[in-house]
Structure 1
Amino acid sequence: MNVCISQPAKEPLLPPHGAALPAISARRRVLAVGLIGPGRVGSALLTQLRTAQPRLSGMGLDLKLCGVAASKRMWLDSDDPDLNARHDGAQTWRPADLHAFAEHVRGMDGRHALLIDCSANDHVAAHYAGWLASGVHVVTPNKLAGSGPLDRWQAIRNACLSGSRFRYEATVCAGLPVVQTLRDLLDTGDRLLAVDGMFSGTLAWLCNQYDGSRPFSALVHEAHALGYTEPDPRDDLSGRDVARKLVILAREAGWQLSLEDIDVQSLVPAALADLSLDDFMERMSELDAPMAAQLANARAHGGVLRHVASLDAHGKAKVSLCVLPAAHPFAHSRLTDNVVQFTTQRYHDNPMLVQGPGAGPEVTAAGIFSDLLRIADTLEFRP
């Protein structure tokens, strides 16, 4: 059981969509926030938080941005009630120091403090256990904590026993409620029989677009130009990023799996795996013949190609390109959709599906924002 998942608050933080805002409450929830990684996702999150500020304040929640840390520099000059999305103006930047940054956000006044890690940095993930143990909540889309060394993952879980919350919904399918759905199924006594999913928006788009009319490599080049892929498309094509998401779900379900336990079948030929990025991009046409053969095989069997990750009831996990029947739910995915299917004791004959956009800074930021609100719901009011 994930001891870091908090219980819902007795009072909802926000009213139903469209409901009138009540008068500003005399009782306030105050949350000091520090953001690590002001890239595309981090900047989108700050914009969303700033836009929501009047609504949140009306419900008694005050968010105070205490600082932003990038890879080499940070600012932590003051609490910023306006959650300004621009950090290159009046702020005084200084060399990055994660320890000093966390201490500044935590403060000395017993405040509620939250660190949001929007980096993809293993060094940052290594600090989570210490932050949580010191009373700082952590929210992240960084997959390197949940899929990294098991002993570090266990240390993070143990640190939550102090009362701090660690939420990581956006590590699996951006803004889709996949981790929470699995947690709810297990916490209500259901038994997981299998998880199957399309966890890569990039590979979903490639499979949806690939019909043989254009070489597969041409589609990868297009996806790269559109910003759908990682800077190095092999990070997507290798399936390793998908494997990390499957590890996170497996551990959530109680399986102590690591990346090495996942059978990952890469789409990148061995001859291209260790090339420089420029050389790989020049030789990407070598992907075309194997993929054309895969497509011909799928059509010969009346099926479609989909990139699927699977976990069974015995903890066996696999990531591969599959031929699925045309009637399969995954065959009807659109664009960059992620689709996750939970087969459980209760949802056996008709498995539960979670489907929607699984890529992009806006939806990822929304998933982080949702986790922040879940933590805020647990905070005590103060005069």
Structure 2
Amino acid sequence: MNVLKFGGSSVANAATIEKVIEIIREQSQKTSLYVIVSALGGITDLLIQAGKEASANKEEYKTTLALIEKRHLEAIKELIPVISQSAIISKVKSELNKLEALCEGVYLLSELSPKTESVIASFGEMLSSFIISEAAKVKGLDIALKDSRDLIITGDTAKITIQYDETNARIKKYAEESNHQIHLFPGFVAMTSEGEPTTLGRGGSDFTAAIIAAALMADELQIWTDVSGMYTANPRLVKQAKPVSHISYKEAMELSHFGAKVIYPPTIQPVLDTNIPISIKNTFEPTDKGTRITKDVSQTQRPVTGISHIDNIAIISLEGGGMVGIPGFSKRLFEALFSENINVILITQASSEHSICLAVEASEAEKAKIVLDTTFEFEIAKHKIDPVKIENDTAIVALVGDNMYHHQGLSGKMFSTLGKNNVNIRAIAQGASEKNISVVIEKKDIKKALNILHEAFFEVKTKQLNLFVTGVGNVGSKLLSQLEKQKKYLKDKLRLKIRVVGISNSRTMIFNEHGIHLDSWEEELQKGEKANADTFFKKAKDMNIRNSIFVDNTANPDIAKVYKKYLAESMAVVTCNKIACADEYSNYEELQELSRKFSASFLYETNVGAGLPIIDTLNNLIASGDHVHKIQAVLSGSLNFVFNNYKEGANFYDVVKQAQEEGYTEPDPKIDLSGVDVARKILILARESGNVLELEDIENEAFLPQESLDTTSVPDFFESLQANEAHFKKILDAADQQDCRLKYVAQYEEGKAKVGLQHIPVGHPFYNLEGSDNIVLFFTDRYPKQPLIVKGAGAGAEVTASGIFADIIRIGKK
């Protein structure tokens, strides 16, 4: 014999009730059934709403009652053949008339007592069970409807207490006397020992089913709902959540207490001692395996079974030096809360005894503060303790698992995972059994916390990164193309899933929390909202997504100013924009400090050598204890391209124009040719070597004529290049006469740095540097005479994008 319970979502309307009847039919062919049903989906809320509207003298209660009637009559008309509808509609209307009379009395008295509210709320289950039983009879099922109020007896108290001896006796007697294959009961409703109708409160229909299952020693209790079991996390907030096939009673109790809406703690209690298995099944996918709940579960399963949460929590804090060493404070605190019927969800107390922190439902916070301030009025007046503090807009997130006790480091992993994503922990509670680790966090961080914890404990094979990309010109568009092309490789080989959730250019910006399609981002961006750097940051912050990375593909100083905000929110920053790291040293140092403080990566490898691992190589040298004495480098791929192609017979203007068109220079080539860009690069390398230098400390030996340096626009600059061809020809001839090649060289040596055009003789490492290649020579304690050399392509959108890509992957592999 099995007990089946169908919730409100399973009996929401005629279509879902048809599915319920089919499930009952199929199972009744194998064994006898005791079926408990909830009210039609949403009806209980409407009933309570009508009662409150009536008590507030609002005529709207009549409209609400009309909606309730409409819902039930629609179900009857769709489920019952016309020839059989009359008697059923008559019965339902008769019950609805009683409900209307009851609400009218409430309206006239302007009073809604708890007893009356229970009677009003009970109409939902009474009506649904009647309609379902009649629909089942039409389908030919051998079914009997029994009023649960005749069987389930409660104590006459404010708290729901079941009189189990009398209740069990009544249920057994009914089972012995009934000879039907299927028995249908309204859930939620009961009767007091004084004969007054009452309800079983939150999760009452589940409770009804558990009471009947325990009384009859059922083979199985089945809870049918709209999800395929208990999930590793709330599937509405965590898309990667999956059903748990088998858990223990205790795990189910923990998960249900901490917000898993599938079942409620009282549901499980009646079947604990009798070891009756519970199955959570999906009415809409009846073939899904669901979740089976039993006393014991295999010890080989993963340590964490699920992650659950409760939102709308408030933290109540009682603290003060007068508590230390004085017994009885905790007793008085909890007695005061008990007197007001306030449920305490979480408790934590420091070993110093200086403070007690507890969590209650947000709706009860003010009531808790009033009763506690009154209870400790004397101690507060004497300044022995402080007035009670309330912290609202918080939530509880809990890791649950029977096997957590046997695994070390789970708490540390939980806390570090949250910390890396800027989720601040306000309080911690963990019992000695280690079946539950609970933390209190800000309510706004719930979704992010659940996702990052789920990723850490259930998705260890794949890590998701979320990118906010600004700048989608040459470099940015190439980056997006590379991300799309490498999507499968990243997932299969590196276990990384990279989503672009925000894109901005100088005109518009778009966002999509679930990921922007990289094969159509250009069309979407054209329809985006107006771009703004501060608004882009605010959107990224408000989305509050785990593993967020801000990617700057611009050379915009205004964008560089926003890095601090991202880092302070624990969002990583990846940039090819040199302005931030070449700004005042105090700004550079602040960015580094923010990166360390908030565990947010700040990577800018492309600031110096596009896709070359120059900064990474230097950092590895420093970290391993080496000391850098001198750096010599050709750090401008654009300038190297220009001077490699400026030969006898060529025109300097034409070569620079070609470099610009092929994407080797900045949009304004003067930035490259003036030496400012190279000066920034050697400045960054000097700072990475541990030196405090400013940009003005870099000696810049300019080769451009003053007329070109003084131009204020790109067209004017190019015009000046044409006008000064003789100047550039003279520089070229001087190098040719010495059988040298022109290279724009950056040099740092023992705290001093300079950049300028040099004549490079045959045999020098720089002499045969081709195309737009870069080269860096590191002279250190370990490489005093034969330097460590890094050489390769140092300019171009494709290689710069690949360098940014590499920094993103580096963050993902952390």
Normalised TM-score (structure 2): 0.42
Alignment of 1:1-383 (within 5 A): 27-58=461-492, 59-80=494-515, 82-84=517-519, 86-89=521-524, 92-106=527-541, 111-160=546-595, 161-275=597-711, 276-313=713-750, 315-378=751-814
CA contact (8 A) 2:702 2:756 kept: yes
Superposed displacement of residue 110, structure 1? 6.0
Superposed displacement of residue 219, structure 1? 2.5
Q: 1:324 to 1:257 in 2, by over 3 A?
A: same
CA contact (8 A) 2:574 2:603 kept: yes
Q: 1:277 to 1:120 in 2, by over 3 A?
A: closer
Using CA pairs below 8 Å that are at least 6 residues apart, which structure has the higher relative contact order?
1
Q: 1:90 to 1:209 in 2, by over 3 A?
A: closer
Show the counterpart of 1:7: none
Deviations along 1:143-194, whole A, 9 cap, x unmatched?
0111012222121111112211100001111000000011011111111011
Deviations along 1:190-234, whole A, 9 cap, x unmatched?
110111111111210122123323243343344344443334332
Superposed displacement of residue 102, structure 1? 3.0
* SS of structure 2 residue aligned to 1:146: coil
Structure 1 window deviating more from structure 2 (200-209 vs 220-229): it is 220-229
1:340 is aligned with what amino acid? V
Distance 2:544 2:726 in 1: 63
Q: 1:318 to 1:128 in 2, by over 3 A?
A: same
Superposed displacement of residue 344, structure 1? 1.0
* SS of structure 1 residue aligned to 2:647: coil
Distance 2:599 2:460 in 1: 26
Show the counterpart of 1:17: none
Q: 1:278 to 1:112 in 2, by over 3 A?
A: closer
Distance 1:286 1:135 in 2: 51
Distance 1:359 1:365 in 2: 10
From the two aligned structures, give the one with the greater helix fraction: 2
CA contact (8 A) 2:743 2:766 kept: yes
Distance 1:79 1:319 in 2: 46
CA contact (8 A) 2:632 2:746 kept: yes
1:296 is aligned with what amino acid? D
Show the counterpart of 1:16: none
* SS of structure 1 residue aligned to 2:522: coil
CA contact (8 A) 1:150 1:256 kept: yes
Deviations along 1:283-326, whole A, 9 cap, x unmatched?
3234433333333333343422211011102x211111101221
Deviations along 1:35-94, whole A, 9 cap, x unmatched?
011111111111111111112222432222211122232111332164446232388511
Show the counterpart of 2:355: none
Distance 2:480 2:545 in 1: 24
Distance 2:546 2:668 in 1: 41
CA contact (8 A) 2:513 2:543 kept: no
Distance 1:283 1:99 in 2: 37
2:707 is aligned with what amino acid? A
1:327 is aligned with what amino acid? G
Show the counterpart of 1:13: none
Show the counterpart of 1:15: none
Show the counterpart of 1:6: none
CA contact (8 A) 2:550 2:574 kept: yes
Q: 1:321 to 1:333 in 2, by over 3 A?
A: same
Task: Kindly tell me the number of residue pairs found equivalent between the two proteins.
Answer: 354
Superposed displacement of residue 279, structure 1? 3.5
Q: 1:89 to 1:72 in 2, by over 3 A?
A: closer
CA contact (8 A) 1:46 1:84 kept: no
Superposed displacement of residue 32, structure 1? 1.4
Q: 1:244 to 1:107 in 2, by over 3 A?
A: same
CA contact (8 A) 2:510 2:524 kept: no
CA contact (8 A) 2:675 2:756 kept: yes
Distance 1:47 1:235 in 2: 27
* SS of structure 2 residue aligned to 1:43: helix
Deviations along 1:124-159, whole A, 9 cap, x unmatched?
111111211111011000101110122221211111
CA contact (8 A) 2:705 2:727 kept: no
Q: 1:279 to 1:123 in 2, by over 3 A?
A: closer
2:800 is aligned with what amino acid? T
Distance 2:660 2:527 in 1: 35
Larger radius of gyration: 2
Show the counterpart of 1:18: none
2:632 is aligned with what amino acid? D
Normalised TM-score (structure 1): 0.86
Distance 1:343 1:376 in 2: 32
Distance 2:513 2:527 in 1: 10
CA contact (8 A) 2:469 2:553 kept: yes
Q: 1:190 to 1:244 in 2, by over 3 A?
A: same
Structure 1 window deviating more from structure 2 (55-64 vs 242-251): it is 55-64
2:786 is aligned with what amino acid? N
Superposed displacement of residue 106, structure 1? 4.5
Distance 1:83 1:370 in 2: 19
CA contact (8 A) 1:234 1:268 kept: no
Distance 2:543 2:652 in 1: 56
Q: 1:87 to 1:231 in 2, by over 3 A?
A: closer
The CA RMSD over aligned residues, in Å, is 2.2
CA contact (8 A) 1:76 1:101 kept: no
CA contact (8 A) 2:508 2:526 kept: no
Distance 2:460 2:630 in 1: 48
Q: 1:165 to 1:50 in 2, by over 3 A?
A: same
CA contact (8 A) 1:216 1:287 kept: no
